[in-house]
Amino acid sequence: MSLIVQKYGGTSVGSIELIEAVAEKIAGFRDQGHDIVVVVSAMGSETNRLVALAQEVMEQPVPREMDVLLSTGEQVTIALLCMALEKRGFGARSFTGGQVRILTDATHTKARIREIDSSRILAQLEQNNVVVVAGFQGVDEDGNITTLGRGGSDTSAVALAAALEAEECQIYTDVNGVYTTDPRIVEGACLLKNITFEEMLELASLGAKVLQIRAVEFAGKYKVPLRVLSAFEEGDGTLISLEEETVMENPSIAGIASERDEAKLTVAGVPDLPGIAYKVIGPVSNEGIEVDVIVQNAAVDGTNDVTFTVKRDESEKTKAILDKVAQSLEAREVILDKKICKVSLVGVGMRSHAGIASRMFKAMADENINIQIITTSEIKISIVIEERYLELAVRALHSAFNLGDPQSEFSSQR
């Protein structure tokens, strides 16, 4: 008997029929003798519906109440799934995050898990019950309901798998695993059998929403074997491997990620003096706004431009802060551009291969796509371009590196 933690995402539990199908799947694992802890998301787009309701009342809803509201979505699914399991003759018990005692910090709407009390779950497993836990939620020390940020059920599942020392954490979703890029953008995207933990971390942080980044961080930290697979079709899916198998000398590309919800801000004509970057970025991060890609141009005529990106929904707030900064620094102007996106190529062994960057830029040149910002790290190259070219850029890159073919010289699957 082994313990498996399984997570079923929103689309996989989007209707009663689908919940019944998930119950059948779990029944199959029980029949094979496995102990099962299930984490579920809210049904379909329920969380979006709840967000919209809140925004009808308040444009910027009170975070504590937002969490009380959003956590209801998952509570519906846990009860319905337990009913479907009981109907099939399997003992099943549902628990909210607070009932398990998934203890988090008090940062409403993006709380971090601190500790999980596994005793209640273990007692239920002992009695041969399937345990069904509401994803995406916990409680803080004072008993307030918290949520873990959008896509947070992935993190609930991995954290539970770590706490329970499960044999594997299986993330069931609406695609067959992790692909070379979002299969909704590129039809010929290639399913990856394995991906290194490091590459998955980059893909998740650069916009591939198939796994929440915190879930990948947790899996790495606590060495949880993690697999992404389809809730609807048979198959082994993708294993996020903890061991570095790829030889760093061989440039290999795991995939392409894209992100739409960013905005670009430029403070133009700031005096070229020591401490300027700090004076521009400092007040923004002091407000808890996450700053992403940052570039500063070489100075011309004693001034330069500082450009960076932030999440689009924080861009107006950032602009207001920068307007004040610009005034005090006597900078020329602040320019906000919301119509941008970021496209990134991720793979180990990239940095030492200039050929990869030039192939990437050529693919953009061939499509006449203007690159606004370029940043690189050990295992990724990101470009900021006009939002309307997102799909075109992803497709062009996918074919420039021939990623649809696992035998491609660039493929990490060779």
Q: Footprint of ligand ADP on this chain (CB under 6 A)?
A: 9-12, 41, 151, 173-175, 178-179, 181-184, 208-210, 255
Q: CA-CA distance, 175 to 184, in Å (whole number)?
A: 9
Distance CA 345, CA 255 (A): 6
Interface size with ligand ASP, residues (CB under 6 A): 13
Q: Considering beta carbons, is residue 181 or 266 the nearer one to ligand ADP?
A: 181
Is 150 near ligand ASP (CB under 6 A)? yes
Q: In this structure, what token pair is assigned to residue 391?
A: 């799909």
Neighbour order of strands in the sheet with 226-230? 92-95, 130-134, 35-40, 3-8, 168-173, 226-230, 238-241, 194-196
Closest C-alpha to 384, from 300, 284, 282, 312: 312
Taking CB under 6 A as the binding criterion, the range among 16-24, 146-154, 343-351, 356-364 that sits at the site for ligand ASP is: 146-154
- Element holding 358 (H helix, E strand): helix 354-366
Residue 212 or residue 411: which is nearer to ligand ASP going by CB? 212
Neighbours of 349 (CB within 10 A): 18
Give the integer Cα–Cα distance in Å for 309 and 325: 17
Which backbone phi and psi does 335 adopt, to 5 degrees? -115, 130
Rounded to an integer, what distance in angstroms lies between the CA atom of residue 55 and that of residue 67? 13
Residue with smaller CB distance to ligand ASP, 210 or 356? 210
Tell me if 151 contacts ligand ASP by CB under 6 A. Answer: yes
Query: 154 or 182, CB closer to ligand ASP?
Result: 154
- The answer to the question of residue 41 lying near ligand ASP (CB under 6 A) is yes
Residue 178 binds what, of Mg ion, ligand ASP, ligand ADP, none (CB under 5 to 8 Å, by partner type)? ligand ADP
Residue nearest to ligand ADP (CB): 9
Quote the tokens at residue 363: 């693919």
Separation between Cα atoms, residue 332 and residue 268, nearest integer Å: 6
Binding of Mg ion by 151 (CB under 5 A): yes
Helices of type H across 252-314: 276-286
C-alpha span between 64 and 366 (Å, rounded): 49
The only residue of 8, 90, 95, 136 in contact with ligand ASP, by rule CB under 6 A: 136
138 contacts ligand ASP (rule: CB under 6 A):
no
According to the binding rule CB under 6 A, does residue 42 interact with ligand ASP? yes
Query: Residue 401, interface with ligand ASP (CB under 6 A)?
Result: no
Q: Which partner in ligand ASP, Mg ion, ligand ADP, none is near 210 (CB below 5 to 8 A by kind)?
A: ligand ADP
- Report in angstroms how near the CB of residue 185 gets to ligand ADP at its nearest: 8
Is residue 153 a contact residue for ligand ASP (CB under 6 A)? yes
Q: CB 153 → ligand ADP: shortest distance, Å?
A: 7
Contact footprint for Mg ion (CB under 5 A): 9, 151
Contact footprint for ligand ASP (CB under 6 A): 9-10, 41-42, 47, 73, 135-136, 150-154
